Structure 1
């Protein structure tokens, strides 16, 4: 891996031809994703498991909605997490603090003390991920300031491969959770985050000062106003929660619906705020218009894609033949199919984006991703029909579903991270990465609520309806590719678009 570098790269020790700082961020994110995806693979199964099996015994619809809102909030808090890094901590310290809080959350989940420890653990993981997730991605982008977009895309594809190596956590966490004890599985996730923290501290010297200081630190007067405002908001939230609790309306279903509404309203309000901000230039505002359409496409993609942890996970447990040579494979292991496919194809796509260069733009990739994701649910509809009458179907059906989703994911997720660092207004650099994760938050929250209708519609109609809607959205986006590329500046030579390489 110590290879000569091409134009724009850093000389000396490299990581697959990239700066060695990418390796530090790669492995930190790998272990954080190990903890996240390990929990994700067993959470809904733990929630619906009867108390006799150490579960919480929730109704399926409520468990799916809670899972969706949990995943949504993990990404939702990326926006304030980016703001904290921009104005107070700096990205580097924000990642460190976030990792510590995440580890504490998983330790709380590992305590077999009932629902209280579970909800506390989920809350801590949400808060910690909000600090870590957007800022570690921003640091990757900052390593490539002034370098070609294709090289940044290649780096994010390699970084994304690390995410998906960590996503293989269900092999260990899933086995421990389902076959040993749920809380032992949660404890394994905590150990993974601890390893990530150790690696981040040891490898920090390779980051070349990236993220050491806030990009736009608060003035003393601003700091006083911010802390006063935060205190008032927290007091208001506490008062509202107390009032609902007194009326007997503080239920899991009520909270999930309220948080879903929040996940939709906040990005709309934040985009409106950025468009009106005097800190955003005219050229940046034009690119922001294109980004709104990419945001909507991403939200729809994640609404479908992230149902893997809920409806598809339960489907695997109840309707897929998981017997291998007489051994019953834990159903959570099916959550490994996607990251295995990602690992197989990440290097290919990293090479492909460099090879294609500017001939295939970001809107092309997003449109293709929507079509692939929609087709995966069409296949799920066919698989559901085959499983009618209590017949357990072959695992190959789920492999086909995840293959289609993987092809879409590789066209949208790493490319979306890259285009966000490129189109971000200078005044909102870290916060813009948080805005990107709001697309996932909105999609996951809505997906969790939509999943409530699966029982009423039936599996066949449910998957077919969502799949057809997503394919149609992808086709519509293909029709507007040229207009979007024009707004983004992708139809101009790099020299004519100096803002295009901003991260």
Structure 2
């Protein structure tokens, strides 16, 4: 999971009610509103990662065992495309908060929809309830995810030096929730089946809503204001944009239908069509975003230089998340079928491994924070940090591939999968915090309030690639070594290409910064 999850560019804007928080030190030296958002995000992440930990197993287990009985390939693709959908919808959620309803109501409405989704998943009523629940959780998370973090920023004045510390506390809540969830939801699944696990996730989301609603007074207006309200004059443009997006979706839906029908040998849409449609949207959205920015008359020449420098960073991030986010799909399948489920002499559930990354984040994030401060100007550039992160991610899959092939028909030790997550976490700590900073730093002023959309789109596109890969891989359970090795080798080769571009990226970033410094001061 990302360390700096969900902080939007809006967190850097002057808060509407931050002045009243300037002297509030009731929560570990921070405004008491931070406790509200800390608890909200902790329990929301608990519900999200708890549900995600058992989702693949629920989709693919036999009906007699309480699952939906889907094929492994379909289950893997749906799990991956679900993650992609969350990030695509986060772009919509951020826009709704900025232009229509504000961050606080976006979080509240999103939380209610998430809770409803978990309740639907808890009902043993078949695939209809289950898929409705999955869709509801994706929509609700899209509304909540990009906005709860931005409200943290609104608790502080621009000059308040507690801001970074406040976000560190907030991110700790994210990791606590995601660390505990697989254990508790997995235990509930063992005792009462999949639906009992989803009940635990629903209870977690209920706690999040309680924290948020009861703590509203402590927020002191944070998130209430619509920062860039939609004006009457802009409505025709909005309608034209919606029609254009609708036309694009229709074209992509027809393309998805054609591909799914060719695969099935008859006219059919089904799960393959949905996976393809969302994949195509995930690929098209960032292309459209970059095209609009580069062609916009509101973007200056120095800003355009920075956007060009950001494009290879975006591609590197997309490839990194393609590997990293397979924790819920191929790595979950690997844990269940190819890993010895004992750890230090204790029998474990495959869901356990999804707690490894947040546990390592809690341990290692302070070390990396100290390291970057210690190195200062002597440390690697932004582009080099991206390259290191991507290289570590590809190395993790190569390591897993080699160990799988060495094991042959036997299962690998649980330490192999823990080691894979360890290497990926090192890569995340190199790329993810730096990626967020680079996104907000390099975004043109005219697009600053939408900067986080780009970061979310990198994760959406990365998981869409995963969905296509697992759909195209037959009998993955018997081809894990080749699957991980192929992805690792290709990504490692692309990492080498990326490193050759790092001097160019650094020069363009520097040129953009110099151009901005030499520009006339903004009124």
Matched residue, 2:369: 350
Alignment partner of 1:174 is 2:174 = no
Q: Deviations over 1:239-266 (max 9, x none)?
A: 9989979995131112111211111011
Q: Deviations over 1:167-198 (max 9, x none)?
A: 12100112212442111111211111222222
Contact 1:135 / 1:430 at 8 angstroms: preserved in 2?
A: no
Of 269, 276, 281 in structure 1, the residue corresponding to residue 295 of structure 2 is 276
Corresponding residue SS for 1:480 = helix
Aligned pair in 2 of structure 1 residues 440, 232: CA closer, same or farther (>3 Å)? closer
Matched residue, 1:373: 393
Shift of 1:425: 3.1
Contact 1:153 / 1:350 at 8 angstroms: preserved in 2?
A: no
Corresponding residue SS for 2:125 = coil
Matched residue, 2:17: none
Alignment of 1:233-248 (within 5 A): none
Contact 1:263 / 1:438 at 8 angstroms: preserved in 2?
A: yes
Alignment of 1:43-192 (within 5 A): 43-140=55-152, 146=158, 158-168=169-179, 169-192=181-204
Matched residue, 2:495: 474
Of 322, 325, 328 in structure 1, the residue corresponding to residue 341 of structure 2 is 322
Shift of 1:434: 2.0
Separation in 2, partners of 1:476, 1:136: 37
Q: Deviations over 1:60-83 (max 9, x none)?
A: 111111111111001111112111
224-233 vs 214-223, which moves further: 224-233
Matched residue, 1:401: 420
Contact 2:302 / 2:511 at 8 angstroms: preserved in 1?
A: no
Of 276, 301, 308 in structure 1, the residue corresponding to residue 320 of structure 2 is 301
Shift of 1:496: 4.4
Corresponding residue SS for 2:435 = helix
Aligned pair in 2 of structure 1 residues 287, 344: CA closer, same or farther (>3 Å)? same
Corresponding residue SS for 1:77 = helix
Shift of 1:417: 2.4
Separation in 2, partners of 1:483, 1:140: 35
Shift of 1:355: 3.3
Separation in 2, partners of 1:196, 1:293: 37
Aligned pair in 2 of structure 1 residues 17, 443: CA closer, same or farther (>3 Å)? farther
Shift of 1:155: 5.8
Separation in 2, partners of 1:484, 1:236: 32
Q: Which runs of 5+ in 2 are unaligned?
A: 1-20
Separation in 2, partners of 1:482, 1:161: 34
Aligned pair in 2 of structure 1 residues 31, 468: CA closer, same or farther (>3 Å)? same
Matched residue, 1:465: 486
Corresponding residue SS for 2:384 = helix
Contact 1:153 / 1:415 at 8 angstroms: preserved in 2?
A: no
461-470 vs 226-235, which moves further: 226-235
Contact 1:369 / 1:407 at 8 angstroms: preserved in 2?
A: yes
Matched residue, 2:505: 484
Contact 1:135 / 1:433 at 8 angstroms: preserved in 2?
A: no
Separation in 2, partners of 1:377, 1:82: 33
Aligned pair in 2 of structure 1 residues 239, 283: CA closer, same or farther (>3 Å)? closer
Of 9, 19, 29 in structure 1, the residue corresponding to residue 41 of structure 2 is 29
Aligned pair in 2 of structure 1 residues 375, 147: CA closer, same or farther (>3 Å)? farther
Separation in 1, partners of 2:48, 2:333: 19
Shift of 1:388: 1.9
Matched residue, 1:286: 305
Separation in 2, partners of 1:26, 1:497: 40
Alignment of 1:223-262 (within 5 A): 223=235, 226=238, 230=242, 249-262=268-281
Separation in 2, partners of 1:286, 1:431: 18
How many equivalent pairs are there? Answer: 489
Aligned pair in 2 of structure 1 residues 203, 181: CA closer, same or farther (>3 Å)? same
Aligned pair in 2 of structure 1 residues 394, 498: CA closer, same or farther (>3 Å)? farther
Of 448, 451, 459 in structure 2, the residue corresponding to residue 429 of structure 1 is 448
Q: TM-score, normalised by structure 2?
A: 0.83
Shift of 1:471: 2.4
Q: Which runs of 5+ in 1 are unaligned?
A: 1-8
Aligned pair in 2 of structure 1 residues 201, 408: CA closer, same or farther (>3 Å)? same
Separation in 2, partners of 1:258, 1:139: 33
Separation in 2, partners of 1:185, 1:357: 46
Q: TM-score, normalised by structure 1?
A: 0.86
Separation in 2, partners of 1:380, 1:285: 40
Contact 2:121 / 2:198 at 8 angstroms: preserved in 1?
A: yes
Alpha carbon RMSD of aligned pairs, Å? Answer: 3.5
Contact 2:60 / 2:75 at 8 angstroms: preserved in 1?
A: yes
